[in-house]
Amino acid sequence: MIYQRSSALFNEAKKYIPGGVNSPVRAFKAVGGDPIFVKEAKGAYLYDEDGNRLIDFIASWGPLILGHAYEPVINAVIEKAKKGTSFGMPTEIETELAKLAVSMVPNIDKIRFVNSGTEACMSAVRLARGYTGKDKIIKFAGCYHGHSDSFLIQAGSGAVTFGSPNSPGVTQGTAKDTLLADYNDLEGVKKLVQANKDEIAAIIIEPVAGNMGCIIPTDAFIHGLREICTQEGILLLFDEVMTGFRLGKGGAQEALGIKADMVMFGKVIGGGLPVGAFAAREEIMNHLAPDGPVYQAGTLSGNPLAMSAGLAMLTELNNRPEVFTSLAEKTKYLHQGFDAVMSQKGMPYQINSFGSMISLHFTDQPVVDFKTSSKGNNETFKKYFHGMLKKGIYLPPSAFESYFLNDALSYKDLDDTIDALNTIF
Ligand code: KE4
């Protein structure tokens, strides 16, 4: 594999764009080396600027669940673009996508479209605070809800685990309203709720976590959260930016059998164009402007071009739910193949998978939260990442990410991926 053109493009990009990228994880800081610049993509394959073909396991971090340049989505976008891309006025297609999403996802009556997962989660927390009249939120270490100030919080000192900023620019004033708990630790949540009685508006969680690698909630934990929220008048916010329309029509609510009070979406709902959304039952959503007092707005929210991609994508998934089964079976095949290879290598490893989300961790402990995910050997991960890349397999350039299968992947692609792993250790 040669990457000369990618490296030259990266050097040029760094002159004009901070770090040479428009989102930090793309810069390969966690794995070393220069990032790969992609020229185009089709189906399961990326074609980089040096002419290499790569089997893609991030699918633009989730959106392209049917593969790159999926014809029905592309055609919908082309046709819509000919009629104008955005008007700043209501259009019928927004209602069409809203109706379809509401028909697919349980426990939501209304949905508001925004332009990213960050915007969806940020707006949902503001709505939860406005609806409940309470200020604090609980989030979980290792869960990522976008880069809004309230979410860029790390474990603070002190027994009550008050958050502290994990980025300059986030104020202590903001951090004090974010409480931090550990994923799969229900007792820790109970302690926080008791220590902040009647002050917590919401608990926000990735119902199946994808930003620590793939981490699955225990039944007791996720059902326990629901019970605590119901008892304490706290809203349970499911951040389904990754899991929404990926784990199934009804996302994680359906897969886990849990009713959330609010659900946030991104990625798949936009079909590869910028769309985020948040949704809930009517009594909550009617608190949003212009009907209600909680303000939220956006110039390009619901723009017809992005809506056309989202509508084409969700229509496909709604009409062909067998895609979700196919993705889950392919993921299980990859899991079993990786397990068969790694079990012969005499080294510690864990493989977590759920639906079409999967991650490989180089540690001897089960990976159940951020602490155990952090115990993975990053030097081994770097060797794995670059070894797979040299074999034409493009994985997320960080040990703290889930891989996202797309349904254009063939079983030969999966066999090639499993065989590539076998050459590394
Ligand atoms: P965006 O603002 O990036 O559209 O969505 C933020 C977000 C919210 N919630 C969850 C569960 C997410 O995974 C994300 C974004 N995911 C990352 C990948 N781990 C996007 C990749 C990136 O930051 O470039």
Ligand 1 pocket (Cβ < 6 Å) reads 23, 25, 61, 116-118, 121, 144-146, 206, 210-211, 239, 241-242, 266, 276, 401
Contact criterion met (CB below 8 Å) for 142 and 211: yes
Model confidence pLDDT, tens digit, residues 208-231: 999 999 999 999 999 999 999 999
Q: What percentage of residues in the chain have a pLDDT greater than 90?
A: 96
- What pLDDT, on a 0 to 100 scale, did the predictor assign at position 93? 98
Q: Quick one: tokens of 413?
A: 């692609």
CA of 117 from ligand 1 middle (Å) equals 6
Average pLDDT over residues 122-133: 98
The partner residues of 155 in beta bridges, in order of sequence, read: 163
Together in a domain, 80 and 59:
no
Query: Where among 319, 345, 378 does a domain terminate?
Result: 319
Alpha-carbon distances of 374 from 111, 161, 348, 365, 367, rounded to whole Å = 36, 19, 14, 11, 9
Is 144 part of the annotated catalytic residue set? yes
**Confidence class for position 159, pLDDT limits 50, 70, 90:** very low
Query: Where among 261, 290, 319 does a domain terminate?
Result: 319
Together in a domain, 170 and 270:
yes
Domain housing 82: 71-319
Pocket perturbation via mutation, ligand 1, pick of 211, 273, 370 by most ligand atoms within 8 A of CB? 211
**Residue among 3, 45, 144, 349 flagged as catalytic:** 144
CA of 352 from ligand 1 middle (Å) equals 19
pLDDT surpasses 90 at 162: no
CA of 414 from ligand 1 middle (Å) equals 25
Together in a domain, 44 and 106:
no
Contact criterion met (CB below 8 Å) for 358 and 352: yes
Together in a domain, 289 and 188:
yes
Residues written for the chain:
425
**Confidence class for position 161, pLDDT limits 50, 70, 90:** low
Pocket perturbation via mutation, ligand 1, pick of 22, 239, 242 by most ligand atoms within 8 A of CB? 242
**Residue among 139, 267, 330, 391 flagged as catalytic:** 267
Atom 9 of ligand 1, nearest CA residue: 145
Contact criterion met (CB below 8 Å) for 85 and 300: no
CA of 355 from ligand 1 middle (Å) equals 18
Atom 1 of ligand 1, nearest CA residue: 117
Model confidence pLDDT, tens digit, residues 55-79: 999 999 999 999 999 999 999 999 9
Is 47 part of the annotated catalytic residue set? no
Together in a domain, 234 and 343:
no
Q: How many CA atoms lie within 13 A of 154 on its CB side?
A: 7
Atom 15 of ligand 1, nearest CA residue: 146
Q: Cβ neighbours of residue 78 under 8 Å, at least 6 residues apart?
A: none
The closest of 250, 253, 249 to 208, measured between CA atoms, is: 253
Together in a domain, 35 and 171:
no
- What pLDDT, on a 0 to 100 scale, did the predictor assign at position 166? 85
Average pLDDT over residues 241-270: 98
Together in a domain, 147 and 193:
yes
* Ligand 1 atom showing the smallest separation from residue 211 Cα: 19
Model confidence pLDDT, tens digit, residues 359-390: 999 999 999 999 999 999 999 999 999 999 99
CATH number at residue 26: 3.90.1150.10
Together in a domain, 311 and 327:
no
As for how many domains the chain has, the answer is 2
What angle, 0 to 180 degrees and rounded to 10, lies between the N-to-C axes of helices 186-195 and 219-232?
A: 20
- What pLDDT, on a 0 to 100 scale, did the predictor assign at position 24? 94
What is the sign of the dihedral through the CA atoms of 227, 230, 234 and 238? positive
Together in a domain, 313 and 196:
yes
Looking at residue 24, its amino acid is: P
Query: Where among 300, 319, 338 does a domain terminate?
Result: 319
Mean of pLDDT over the chain: 96
Together in a domain, 119 and 23:
no
Of 50-64, 163-177, 255-269, 323-337, minimum mean pLDDT range? 163-177
- What pLDDT, on a 0 to 100 scale, did the predictor assign at position 49? 97
pLDDT surpasses 80 at 158: no
Alpha-carbon distances of 256 from 34, 217, 346, 353, rounded to whole Å = 39, 9, 34, 14
* Ligand 1 atom showing the smallest separation from residue 143 Cα: 11
Contact criterion met (CB below 8 Å) for 389 and 53: no
Q: Quick one: tokens of 72?
A: 């029905």
Model confidence pLDDT, tens digit, residues 93-115: 999 999 999 999 999 999 999 99
Q: Cβ neighbours of residue 71 under 8 Å, at least 6 residues apart?
A: none
Together in a domain, 399 and 325:
yes
Q: Quick one: tokens of 201?
A: 């508006």
Model confidence pLDDT, tens digit, residues 298-337: 999 999 999 999 999 999 999 999 999 999 999 999 999 9
pLDDT surpasses 90 at 1: no
Of 30-44, 167-181, 270-284, minimum mean pLDDT range? 167-181
Atom 5 of ligand 1, nearest CA residue: 117
* Ligand 1 atom showing the smallest separation from residue 266 Cα: 4
pLDDT surpasses 50 at 160: no
- What pLDDT, on a 0 to 100 scale, did the predictor assign at position 273? 98
**Residue among 177, 182, 239, 407 flagged as catalytic:** 239
Atom 24 of ligand 1, nearest CA residue: 23
Q: pTM for this one?
A: 0.97
- What pLDDT, on a 0 to 100 scale, did the predictor assign at position 163? 67
Written as one string, the DSSP assignment of 90-123 is --HHHHHHHHHHHHHSTT-SEEEEESSHHHHHHH
Pocket perturbation via mutation, ligand 1, pick of 144, 148, 373 by most ligand atoms within 8 A of CB? 144
CA of 146 from ligand 1 middle (Å) equals 5
Together in a domain, 282 and 351:
no
CATH number at residue 243: 3.40.640.10
pLDDT surpasses 60 at 156: no
